Amino acid sequence: MKAKIIITPKKAVLDPQGKTVQNALAHLGYTDVTAVHVGKYIEIELASNTDPQRAREALDEACYKFLSNPIIEDYHLEIVP
């Protein structure tokens, strides 16, 4: 069992990395791109007998407390078999 966590900068927060990647894409000819947001991906491996609901609750807390900073970031958590 795995947890997949995607962390992205909040829309209101300046994202110079996303902006720079967007500019580079425009230089390469990808002119239809209207915005780029660069975040991070975390994959966590869990023991196969883990209860998915409990894993979700525990990792949701970990995402809020540690893996993301809620002042500047949003996260999406997914538990997959």
Partner 1 sequence: MSIFRFAVIQFPASNCDQDAVHAIRVLGHSADYVWHKEASLGNVDAVIIPGGFSYGDYLRTGAIARFSPVMQAVRRFAEDGGLVLGICNGFQILCEAGMLPGALIRNRSLQFRCEHVFLKTVTRDSPFTRSIPEGRLLKIPVAHGEGCYYADEPTLKRLASNGQILWKYCDASGQITDSANPNGSLLNIAGICSEARNVAGMMPHPERACESILGSEDGRMVFESMIDTLRLARTGAAA
Interface ranges with partner 1 (CB under 8 A)? 9, 12-14, 16-17, 20, 66-67, 69, 71-72
Nearer to partner 1, 29 or 66 (CB): 66
CB of 79: closest distance to partner 1 in angstroms? 21
Nearer to partner 1, 27 or 49 (CB): 27
CB of 13: closest distance to partner 1 in angstroms? 6
Burial 4-17 (b: 16+ CB within 10 A, else e): ebebbbeeeeebee
Other beta carbons less than 10 A from residue 63's beta carbon: 20
Contact yes or no for 52/75 (Cβ under 8 A): no
